[in-house]
Amino acid sequence: MIEVTREKFEELVAEALDTIPPELTRVMNNVVVTVVDDPPQPNLLGLYTGIPLTERGDWYSAVLPDRIEIYRNAICRVCDTEEQVVREVRITVVHEVGHHFGIDDARLHELGW
């Protein structure tokens, strides 16, 4: 396990979000990404909660933002080096953003996320 400050971890999450192509970030809508220290369940590195873009219709308005949570302590627990944390944060961020776009776990794993 490696220790990474919350401030540094938030920077890593921001850097991971910056790697997502602009043509995708432009269509991300009504979603917030947050760092949370501990997950609600063991072994969970990130969690998307909301209504994926692919399921939104004309009825979609006045809805609270979707939420992507990235779990700092869980990621730090599975990593031994800061380089591993950087890699795991990026994988987790891209994976959860994929859910925002309506991609399921099976397909994300096929794609390496």
pLDDT tens by residue, 62-76: 999 999 999 999 999
Q: Measuring CA to CA, how many Å separate 52 from each of 28, 29, 77, 84, 88?
A: 10, 10, 29, 29, 23
Dihedral angle sign, alpha carbons of residues 31, 60, 95, 21:
negative
Stated pTM of the model: 0.93
End-to-end CA separation in angstroms for the chain: 22
pLDDT, tens digit (0-9, with 9 covering 90-100), for 21-65: 999 999 999 999 999 999 999 999 999 999 999 999 989 999 999
Structural domains of the chain, with CATH = 6-111 (3.30.2010.20)
